[in-house]
Each structure stands twice: as structure tokens, then as C-alpha cells.
Structure 1
Amino acid sequence: MTGPATDDGAATAGTAATLARVGSVLGTVVAPATGVSALLFYFGYVSTRAQLAYFGVDVDVLGMATQDYVMRAPQPLLVPTLGLLLLTAALVWADGRLRRWARDAGAGHVRAWQRALRAVGGTLVGAAGALLLAYPAVGRWPPYALVTPVALGLGALLLARALTWAGADALGAARGGTAPGTRTTAVVLVLVVVASVFWAAATLAQWSGLGQAKALARDLTRLPAVVVDTSEPLFPADPVVGQTVLAGPDGTATGQRFRYRGLRLLAEGDGRLFLVPERWSPAGSTYVVDPDDARVRFRFVDDPP
């Protein structure tokens, strides 16, 4: 008689072979280096967009190069990557313990464990599906963008593991492992897990960018100081930004009539400077200056107190 442990091994082997074929096809379509670069670009873009949006700047108007986003990607990806590696190690360890337990337990205990996995996994997937359908009502809930992919990914993972066991029990290891329908369903569930991980990582990258923006707003003196002379007024609404009317030796107005202090350089792109006041407030403004229409001087290191 074939035991549940043997059936489980055949199921896992069949699913692993199918996943290997899927990975081989994807590897021939998308080169590994290209895929990694695309992921770094995406997560760097998401983080940078959230960071600059806090100051009212649309990252798309900066004209940043692809390598700029790639260089910004490691910081928002570091914590999610470490967390994913630790979670994967924990899951591999737990799966090994379950395999040893299945070898010693009776068929009734194994089937009960399968039913528990299906129940928990189905509940999580159902909850994630309800959250997706209820997006218009709960989409503004702050944890929504993380809770939904985590519930969906974890539920799909549990269902995939339960299906491989159930498929092996139904078909029998001697007849080739998992049934084709069960194997395909397990592969689709694994792809759902991958998509959920991608979604959760993108959410964390967005939160990372927003967190960096808030930390920067608390101490904008880390940015280069800027003195701007313009011919047209900027109409500063921030009290920290000082305006001085310039005059020539004879007391008449010069070409550059206004001088502004108390500004910091936030970003530069597409031939324009994006300046913020030294102290940011919820009502703070970001000023856009064209260097061709203004005289700009920078101080990259503040004078010591």
C-alpha cells in the first residue's frame, strides 16, 4: 500500500516539474538581467514618486533616467527582501516538519490536516476577494494595500499545498502523482502568490518613499541652500522664505528685481529647479524656477553655528 508520505513526495515532484517548465519558458522570454533591471526600475519609480508627491512634485515632469530609478531601488527593497527571505526559510522549515509528521501520522490525520489547510486558505482567499470587491468603500483604509495581497498570497499558498497533497491521495503515486487538473490549479495558485508578493513589495516601496519624504520634511536643512534672484515675484506664502527688492547703485530697480532666501533645492529636472522652504508645513509650497529666467546661487554646506 502506498502511504501518504509517498503520495506527497510524488505530488511535490509533479508540481515542481511543472513549475520548472514554466520557469524555463519565462527564462527564455525574459532575460534574468532584464527582469531584475525592470523590477529595480519599477520599485525605484514607485518609491521616488511617493517621496516627491509629498512635496507636490510629479516625478514624471523631472525626466529622470532609468538608471536614476534603479539606483534608488535598493533602499525601499532592502527590508521587504530580507523579510521575504526569512519567511521563505521559515516556510521551508515548516514544510520539512510537516513531511516528517506525515510519514509517521495515519492517513486520517493527514486528511484532517489537508482539510484544515483548505479551510484556512479558502478563508484568506475569500477575505481578500471580498476586499477587492469592496475597494470603492474600503480602498482608502491605510493598511488595505498591504493586508489584501498578504491575505491573498498566504491563502493561495496554503491552498496550493493542500491541493498537492489531495491530488496525490486521489490519484496515487503509482499512477503518476497529481492529477493534471490539480497540478494546473496548483501552478496558477503559485502564480497568484508571486503576483501578491509583487503587490505587497510595491506597497512597501511606496510607504518607504512616503516615510523618507516625511523624514526629510522634518529637517530640510540637509538639502543645499539656494538664493534666487528673479525679475518676477514668486509670491511666497511661506513665512520662512524672505523676499528682498533689489536696487542698483542709483536706487532704481535692476533686471533681477527680487531676491529670495530660505529655500532649499529638492530636485532638478527637465531644466527646472524645484525648491522648498527650509521649514515645511502642511501648507508648504514647492517653487519651480527656470535657471534661464533667474540667477541662482547654491550653498551645499551650511555655515557652522
Structure 2
Amino acid sequence: MLTIVGAVLAQGTVLTALLFYFGMLHAHYMFAYFGVNYTVLGLTAQDFLIRSADGLFVPLTVVAAVSLTALWLFRAIWPRLPGPARRLLVHAAGPVAGALGLLAILLAGVAFVDPRPFDAFPWLAGSCLAVGVPLAAWAFRSRRRSTSFAAVAEWTACFVLVAVGLFWAAGDYSSAVGTGRAQNIAAGLPQSADVVLFSEKALQSRVAGVVETTCAGSGFRYDGLKLVMQAGDRYVLLPATWTPATGSAVVLPRSDGVRLEFAAPGTAQVGGC
């Protein structure tokens, strides 16, 4: 089982694609919460790869810690077991692994038909497929030898299914992480710095909660904004009074004609250029 999973993760192309896929969907769902299409932000492949660390470090840490703990327990307990107990465990390992693998594959099939029961655990369905296939394959191969051609076909099918399960889990999990990050940003707007936007050109739109002031010389001043982040070559700003139901986001390109000034929450003075 570990050989199959390790072979999938050891492929640099598969692992990089998995990280890229997670980061892209993370950006999609996070900015979609604010009503922004992430494709207008000019995010690069490097941005997506860096963004993947936002959510993947937690499950990777948990998996590594559990695996290491299980290995230490095995090394501590196995040498102390009597011979009959060892033979019993070895004999039972195949059937138990096969049963668990088939159960995990069955859960993945149920989630494929109707994913709603798994909404609380968005990573579970794909993980079941990625873990269940190697378990079932290992149990089958421990009981029966295959020809070289059948072994290659079986290994290839397992490789594909494990990769599909990993992408499935990453896709579902990234949607939850991206939306959760956006909700955290929205909840923290009152505590984030006030932003005063100076622009050579008018925004040409009315954003609720944002006050526009025409400067005496030239340009415009906008108060009542909060900076969400600089993403790619764009600024993503929200009104301080933004809500998912009524708020609008402002996306501006970085340029010499746009200037941002920051102040502690509640201290920015409205008006004046």
C-alpha cells in the first residue's frame, strides 16, 4: 500500500500539479466570496503554489505525525509479541486491509453519487478513494500472484485512482479552506487599517459606504475602504461596511495613478486632498 501511495507522491509532476490545483481552487473560492473572479488578478503559478501552503500544512502535519507515531508504536510493540500472536496478526492483516479498503471505496462511491452527507468533511471522499484502493490492492496481491502484464495494468490503475483521490480531496478541501479564509478576512475588517485611496481617475462607480471627494487640483479621494490584499498586480479593496449580501469589491491595477494611505482603524479623516 505504501509503495503505491509513495509512488504517486514521489512523482514530481503529480505533486506539483496537486499543489497548483489546490492553490488555484483556494484562490477561486476565497475571492469568489467577495464577488471577484480570481482570473482578473493576474496570479502566477508561483502564487498558486505558495497559496497551497495555506491549507495543506495542517493535513500534511497530521498525517506525518500519525504515521510517525504508528511506526514508533509498531517498533516498540512488535518485538515483544510472542510468535503465535505475530503469526495471527500477519494472517489477519490481509483480510482486514481488504475489508477496510472496500469500505473506503464504497464510501467514496456514495460521495460521488451524493456528496451532501460529506459536506462537514470535504476531504473525506477523495481520501477514502486514495487510501481504499491501495489497501484493497495490497490485500488482493497478498493472496494471489499476478502475471507481469496483469501486475503492470493493476499498478497503473491503482496509480491513476490514487491520484484521482488525492486531487478530489484537495479540490474539496481547498474550497472549504478558501471560503474559510475569506470569512476570517471579512470578520476582521473592523480591526484592519483604514485605507484612503487617491486616484487620478474616478472609479466610475458608486460603492456603498465609500465617500468620494473631488480634489481641488486633480484626482479623486476615496474614504471608507479596507485593503484585503495585493494579489498579482491588483489591489483588492472592500468597503468598511462590506457584507456578503450587499457589499461590492473594488479591484484596481497597481499604477502610478493610484496611491494608498493607511491609518489605524477609525482614525482616518474623511475629506481633504
Query: Contact 1:226 / 1:298 at 8 angstroms: preserved in 2?
Result: yes
Q: Which amino acid aligns with 1:275?
A: L
- Corresponding position of 1:225: 195
- Corresponding position of 2:270: none
SS at match of 2:241: coil
- Runs of at least 5 residues in structure 1 that lack an aligned partner in the other structure: 1-11, 168-177, 249-253
- Corresponding position of 1:151: 128
Are 2:138 and 1:161 aligned? yes
Are 2:89 and 1:126 aligned? no
1:73 aligned to which of 46, 52, 61: 52
How many residue pairs get aligned? The number is 261
CA-CA distance at 1:162 after TM superposition: 1.6
Q: Which amino acid aligns with 2:101?
A: G
Query: Contact 1:80 / 1:204 at 8 angstroms: preserved in 2?
Result: no
- Corresponding position of 2:165: 196
- So what's the TM-score if we normalise by structure 1? 0.65
- Corresponding position of 2:33: 54
Are 2:243 and 1:264 aligned? no
- Runs of at least 5 residues in structure 2 that lack an aligned partner in the other structure: 268-273
CA-CA distance at 1:82 after TM superposition: 0.9
Counterpart Cα distance in 2 of 1:214 and 1:90? 34
What RMSD in Å do the two structures reach over aligned CA positions? 4.2
CA-CA distance at 1:276 after TM superposition: 0.8
Q: Which amino acid aligns with 1:119?
A: A
SS at match of 1:235: coil
Counterpart Cα distance in 1 of 2:203 and 2:92? 77
Deviations 1:8-40 (A, max 9, x none): xxxx9xx96xx69x959x98xx7x4x6655444
Are 2:95 and 1:115 aligned? yes
Q: Which amino acid aligns with 1:226?
A: V
Are 2:194 and 1:215 aligned? no
- Corresponding position of 2:271: none
SS at match of 2:25: helix
SS at match of 1:298: strand
Are 2:231 and 1:277 aligned? no
SS at match of 1:46: helix
CA-CA distance at 1:146 after TM superposition: 1.9
Are 2:64 and 1:85 aligned? yes
2:146 aligned to which of 173, 179, 186: 179
Larger Rg computed on CA atoms: 1
SS at match of 1:209: helix
1:241-260 alignment runs, 5 A limit: 241-244=210-213, 246=214, 248=216, 256=219, 259-260=221-222
Change (3 A) 1:107 1:69: closer
Q: Write out the 4+ residue segments of structure 1 that deviate beyond 6 Å after TM superposition.
A: 94-102, 106-109
- Corresponding position of 1:5: none
- Corresponding position of 2:261: 299
- Corresponding position of 2:205: 234
Counterpart Cα distance in 1 of 2:17 and 2:204? 43
